[in-house]
């Protein structure tokens, strides 16, 4: 067993309070230790907790009937933390999982240091603190039992919430001793279980919300219904770079069920913004009414005039002229973006990392391999469009809905409405997808402003068209790779020049940095009035596929097997690394490649299938994938994807496997089909008739998932499977078609080639 302190510095992790109705509550800072049928219905009734309890943000409650309630503080977006995080607490508490009730906690910034869903960090950063919370409760219960029986704590053991004295065979349940435990001092340190003694961690447990989901019980923001609630919808400018001018709303106000039409300014110029306050359209028209249908019909009849935003127009004119555009519109288009990224961006590069003398190596090279890769803007397209409930009065704000960053949204509401933080109550619902979009809480702030203006509770609802054209897109990226080879086909230098609109995808210290003597990494960005933000596996979601495609080309150019080629480079990075800032573990990186090679039978593949390999490190985890496919009638048919994952200890195997499967399919779909394009600032895709997501028949027939068992503390998992599969897909497509794919979405190139062949 290992010992951990129960408090650090001035703030204690554990706070002990008494239940008025008897029992023990442990409220704790889950993330303060920031390391980087009828039978069922009967069970639920039997697990009802006492009526009197303390509503804390993250706590463990033990009732006098032995039932335990664990409140999950982090937002649930489908990554299953609402099940997995309480599993960790229950493991160290040593309680029967069948006696555990899990509920979502509200926001409480006084208790939690990272109440966020993002970056695949929930389990990783909560691992020690969650275990410590359960272990501390267990120790206090043991101490109370020892005191009652007048025996040493060392003579006691516990299993499934029952304490036993080895010498006398006395037993007592947690519920019987919980009240006495409230009088026990919180121990300064506690012992954590050895990994090999885990009974809950590492076993598959059903999603605690599964029954509610499949039976259609209200869980999501869109399910929210409150007495007196109005429905509100927004009308936004049709193009990025435009702003509100005027409207004629009198006719619309007379339509059935419509209560008001007005404008709002979500973020006034003098408001201090949070990083999560991203929006291209702060000034909006709002239509409010009694029902969703009535408001939607009113939106269609509303006559609004829009103007060019002078400041944004001036900025884009400068960019267009620098790209050599003859017809400067002041509104962005995809053609302009492509020109900017291939011309302006690389000219304005900044050196981020340089090892050795890459210029000399390229000058003396026997030959140079150069390839460029690009990808478009992407919309997040969560199944559940943006929405939020708000009931704001002069002295209080009740907010209820799906948000990945409630802590930052609370601060934004504080600044926008002038309410004190303690007067703002944000309750989190389960989310119908996030993928990074719900990191940005403009829709929450909009709902609050609308409610305050109306003086009534409202539910703000985005239509699919509002959602898809509102921005906060995955940025468009472009990268050029160069490699210098000597006369013996050895790589002597490597150069990566990467950028995008409005951020660069470059990770200068990731593989193959550290494996090549002469290495140069350059970065650039291009401004835009199109709002962008994090998308599942930010930046990695493009650069991984591009990098792994280029490495495959280099393997072919040097006459080496793609996996062996990568392993050779990783061996160098392991035994004789270049530089000191490499942010990956070469041994773990090589480990997933070796595992996927063996599990997929890399050298014994079905000759009827074309296969590609890829491996990548991000969010503290390593994933390698081998994709097997054919091409039929110019359409990719994916037979199987084999995945090897090193994410440390797997808390809930079935849930983890589901995440890998989902991330893999998601990555394939976006690389093949998805894009947002612009013409005169107007998004050309506003619904699923034009924006392609992967369909059921296009998904892999099978996804095999294997986890590395190394006993390392858990790392990220929600995002790491997404980026590398795009490289495996591109490499398999090359084997199937004889053509390299450099521009996403790949299906566009495939269809273009098919049209050319027909003509």
pLDDT band at 2 (very low <50, low <70, confident <90, very high): confident
Q: Is the pLDDT of residue 82 over 50?
A: yes
Residue ranges and CATH numbers for the domains of the chain are 2-214 (3.30.365.10), 221-310+386-461 (3.30.365.10), 476-758 (3.30.365.10)
pLDDT at 603: 86
Angle at 128 between CA 127 and CA 129, to 5 degrees: 95
State the chain's mean pLDDT as an integer.
Answer: 90
589 phi and psi, to 5 degrees? -60, -50
pLDDT at 229: 98
Residue 675's contacts (CB-CB under 8 Å, 6 or more residues apart) are: 376, 377, 378, 685, 691, 744, 745, 748
pLDDT band at 371 (very low <50, low <70, confident <90, very high): very high
Question: 68 near 102, Cβ under 8 Å?
Answer: no
pLDDT at 405: 95
DSSP-assigned states of every residue in 162-191: EEEETTT--EEEHHHHHHHHTTSPPPSEEE
- Helices (runs of H) and strands (runs of E) counted in the chain: 20, 32
Q: Is the pLDDT of residue 133 over 60?
A: yes
pLDDT band at 26 (very low <50, low <70, confident <90, very high): low
pLDDT at 132: 87
Q: Is 631 left (phi over 0), alpha (psi -120 to 50) or beta?
A: beta
- As a whole number of angstroms, the distance between CA 89 and CA 99 comes to 13
Over residues 645-678, the pLDDT tens digits come to: 999 999 999 999 999 999 999 999 999 999 999 9
- As a whole number of angstroms, the distance between CA 154 and CA 124 comes to 31
Q: Widest CA span of the chain, in angstroms?
A: 92
Over residues 431-455, the pLDDT tens digits come to: 999 999 999 999 999 999 999 999 9
Residue 564's contacts (CB-CB under 8 Å, 6 or more residues apart) are: none
Q: Is the pLDDT of residue 92 over 70?
A: yes
Q: Once rounded to an integer, what is the mean pLDDT over residues 122-150? A: 91
- As a whole number of angstroms, the distance between CA 422 and CA 188 comes to 31
CA end-to-end span of the chain, whole Å?
71
Question: 563 near 615, Cβ under 8 Å?
Answer: no
pLDDT at 604: 81
pLDDT band at 315 (very low <50, low <70, confident <90, very high): low
Q: Are strands 24-28 and 702-707 parallel, antiparallel or unpaired?
A: unpaired
pLDDT at 14: 52
- Cα–Cα nearest to 51, from 11, 22, 26: 22
293 phi and psi, to 5 degrees? -60, -45
Q: Which long-range contacts (CB under 8 A, 24 or more apart) does 32-40 make?
A: 32/8, 32/112, 32/113, 32/129, 33/8, 33/125, 33/126, 33/128, 33/129, 33/132, 34/113, 34/114, 34/125, 35/124, 35/125, 35/127, 35/128, 35/713, 36/121, 36/124, 36/125, 36/620, 40/211
Least confident of 39-53, 102-116, 130-144, 685-699: 39-53
Q: Is the pLDDT of residue 40 over 50?
A: no
3-class DSSP state for residue 525?
A: strand
Question: 416 near 273, Cβ under 8 Å?
Answer: no
Question: 264 near 283, Cβ under 8 Å?
Answer: yes
- As a whole number of angstroms, the distance between CA 227 and CA 186 comes to 44
pLDDT at 511: 98
DSSP-assigned states of every residue in 44-75: HHHTPPPS-----SSEEEE-TTS-EEEEE-S-
Over residues 395-427, the pLDDT tens digits come to: 999 999 999 999 999 999 999 999 999 999 999
- Give the up-direction half-sphere exposure of residue 336: CA atoms within 13 A in the CB hemisphere: 24
- As a whole number of angstroms, the distance between CA 286 and CA 511 comes to 49
Q: Is the pLDDT of residue 45 over 70?
A: no
- As a whole number of angstroms, the distance between CA 107 and CA 84 comes to 19
pLDDT band at 44 (very low <50, low <70, confident <90, very high): very low
Residue 326's contacts (CB-CB under 8 Å, 6 or more residues apart) are: none
pLDDT band at 31 (very low <50, low <70, confident <90, very high): very low
3-class DSSP state for residue 287?
A: strand
Share of the chain above pLDDT 70, in %: 89
Question: 132 near 192, Cβ under 8 Å?
Answer: yes
Residue 377's contacts (CB-CB under 8 Å, 6 or more residues apart) are: 473, 474, 475, 476, 501, 530, 532, 675, 676, 677, 678
- Residue in the block written with tokens 């040097």: 558
pLDDT band at 169 (very low <50, low <70, confident <90, very high): confident
- As a whole number of angstroms, the distance between CA 490 and CA 26 comes to 60
Across 37-46, 513-522, 606-615, the highest mean pLDDT is recorded for 513-522
Inter-helix orientation angle 562-575/586-600, to 10°: 160
184 phi and psi, to 5 degrees? -85, 140
Distances in Å between the Cα of 568 and the Cα atoms of 562, 600, 732 are 10, 20, 21
Least confident of 127-131, 354-358, 526-530: 127-131
Q: Once rounded to an integer, what is the mean pLDDT over residues 181-197? A: 90
Question: 582 near 509, Cβ under 8 Å?
Answer: yes
User: Any idea what DSSP says for residue 657?
Assistant: H
Over residues 326-344, the pLDDT tens digits come to: 554 568 999 999 999 998 8
Least confident of 51-65, 128-142, 257-271, 610-624: 51-65
| Beta-bridge mates of residue 165 | 156
pLDDT at 3: 73
pLDDT at 382: 96
pLDDT band at 754 (very low <50, low <70, confident <90, very high): low
Calculated CA dihedral for residues 145, 142, 134, 55, nearest 10 degrees: 30
Q: Is the pLDDT of residue 567 over 90?
A: yes
Q: Is the pLDDT of residue 37 over 50?
A: no
Residue 633's contacts (CB-CB under 8 Å, 6 or more residues apart) are: none
Question: 631 near 639, Cβ under 8 Å?
Answer: no
Question: 244 near 237, Cβ under 8 Å?
Answer: yes
Least confident of 25-39, 432-446, 549-563, 681-695: 25-39
pLDDT band at 208 (very low <50, low <70, confident <90, very high): very high
Residue 504, Cβ density class (10 Å: 0-12 exposed, 13-18 middle, ≥19 buried): buried
pLDDT at 345: 85
54 vs 308, which has greater pLDDT?
A: 308
**Type and span of the H or E element at 586:** helix 586-600
- As a whole number of angstroms, the distance between CA 139 and CA 657 comes to 33
Least confident of 15-29, 60-74, 355-369, 507-521: 15-29
518 phi and psi, to 5 degrees? -110, 110
Q: Once rounded to an integer, what is the mean pLDDT over residues 121-141? A: 88
Question: 53 near 61, Cβ under 8 Å?
Answer: yes
pLDDT at 580: 87
- As a whole number of angstroms, the distance between CA 708 and CA 536 comes to 23
- As a whole number of angstroms, the distance between CA 102 and CA 195 comes to 24
pLDDT at 614: 98
- DSSP strands (E only) in 462-555: 476-485, 491-501, 518-525
pLDDT at 390: 98
Distances in Å between the Cα of 198 and the Cα atoms of 31, 368, 703 are 21, 53, 28
Question: 733 near 746, Cβ under 8 Å?
Answer: yes
- Give the up-direction half-sphere exposure of residue 23: CA atoms within 13 A in the CB hemisphere: 22
């Amino acid at each position: 067993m290992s010992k951990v302190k129960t408090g650090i510095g001035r703030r204690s992790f554990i706070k002990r309070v008494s239940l008025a109705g008897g029992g023990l509550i442990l409220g704790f800072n889950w993330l303060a230790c920031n390391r980087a049928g009828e039978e069922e219905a009967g069970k639920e009734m039997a697990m009802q907790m006492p009526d009197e309890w303390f509503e804390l943000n993250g706590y463990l409650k033990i009732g006098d009937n032995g039932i335990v309630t664990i409140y999950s503080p982090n937002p649930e977006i489908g990554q299953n933390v609402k099940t997995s995080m309480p599993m960790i607490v229950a493991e160290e508490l040593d309680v029967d999982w069948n006696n555990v009730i899990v509920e979502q906690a509200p926001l409480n910034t006084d208790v939690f240091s990272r109440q966020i869903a993002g970056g695949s960090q929930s389990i990783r950063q909560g691992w020690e603190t969650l275990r410590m919370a359960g272990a501390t409760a267990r120790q206090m219960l043991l101490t109370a039992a020892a005191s009652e029986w007048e025996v040493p704590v060392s003579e006691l053991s516990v299993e499934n919430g029952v304490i036993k004295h080895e010498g006398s065979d006395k037993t007592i349940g947690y519920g019987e001793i919980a009240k006495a435990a409230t009088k026990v001092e919180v121990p300064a340190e506690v012992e954590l279980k050895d990994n090999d003694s885990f009974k809950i961690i590492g076993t598959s447990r059903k999603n605690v919300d599964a029954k509610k989901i499949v039976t259609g019980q209200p869980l999501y923001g869109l399910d929210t219904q409150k007495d007196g609630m109005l429905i509100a919808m927004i009308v936004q400018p049709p193009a990025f770079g435009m702003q509100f001018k005027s409207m004629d709303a009198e006719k619309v106000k007379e339509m059935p069920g419509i209560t008001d039409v007005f404008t709002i300014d979500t973020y006034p110029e003098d408001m201090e913004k949070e990083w999560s306050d991203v929006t291209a359209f702060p000034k909006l028209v709002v239509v409010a009414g009694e029902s969703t249908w009535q408001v939607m019909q009113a939106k269609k009849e509303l006559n609004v005039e829009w103007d060019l935003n002078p400041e944004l127009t001036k900025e884009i004119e400068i960019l267009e002229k620098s790209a050599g555009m003859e017809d400067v519109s002041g509104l962005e288009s995809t053609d302009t973006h492509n020109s900017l990224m291939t011309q302006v961006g690389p000219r304005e590069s900044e050196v981020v990392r340089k090892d050795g003398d890459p210029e000399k190596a390229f000058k003396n090279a026997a030959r140079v391999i150069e390839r460029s890769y690009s990808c478009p803007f992407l919309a997040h397209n969560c199944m559940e469009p943006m929405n939020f409930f708000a009931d704001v009065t002069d002295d209080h704000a009740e907010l209820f809905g799906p948000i990945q960053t409630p802590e930052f949204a609370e601060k934004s509401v504080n600044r926008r409405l002038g309410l004190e933080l303690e007067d703002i109550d944000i309750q989190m619902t389960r989310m119908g997808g996030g993928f990074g979009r719900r990191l940005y809480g403009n829709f929450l702030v909009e709902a609050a402003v609308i409610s305050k203006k109306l003086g009534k509770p409202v539910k703000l609802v985005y239509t699919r068209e509002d959602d898809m054209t509102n921005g906060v897109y995955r940025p468009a990226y472009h990268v050029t790779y160069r490699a210098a080879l000597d006369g013996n086909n050895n790589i002597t230098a490597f150069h990566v020049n990467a950028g995008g609109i409005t951020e660069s995808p470059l990770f200068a210290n990731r593989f193959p940095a550290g494996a090549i003597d002469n290495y140069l990494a350059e970065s650039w960005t291009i401004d835009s009035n199109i709002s962008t933000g994090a998308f599942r596996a930010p930046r990695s979601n493009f650069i991984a596929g591009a990098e792994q495609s280029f490495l495959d080309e280099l393997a072919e150019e040097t006459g080496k097997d793609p996996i062996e080629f990568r392993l050779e480079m990783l061996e160098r990075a392991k035994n004789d690394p270049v530089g000191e800032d490499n942010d990956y573990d070469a041994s773990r990186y090589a480990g997933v490649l070796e595992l996927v090679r063996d599990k997929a039978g890399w050298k014994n593949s079905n000759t009827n299938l074309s296969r590609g390999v890829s491996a990548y490190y991000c969010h503290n985890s390593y994933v390698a994938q081998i994709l097997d496919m054919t091409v039929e009638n110019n359409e990719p048919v994916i037979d199987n994807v084999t995945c090897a994952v090193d994410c440390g200890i797997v808390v809930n195997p079935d849930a983890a496997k589901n995440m890998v499967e989902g991330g893999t399919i998601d990555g394939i779909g976006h690389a093949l089909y998805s894009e947002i394009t612009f013409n005169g600032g107007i998004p050309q895709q506003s619904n699923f008739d034009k924006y392609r997501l992967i369909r059921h028949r296009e998904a892999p027939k099978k996804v095999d998932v294997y986890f590395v068992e190394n006993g390392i503390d858990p790392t990220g998992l929600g995002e790491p499977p997404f980026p590398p599969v795009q490289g495996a897909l591109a490499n398999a497509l090359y084997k199937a078609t004889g053509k390299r794919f450099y521009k996403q979405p790949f299906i566009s190139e495939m269809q273009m080639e098919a049209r050319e062949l027909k003509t």
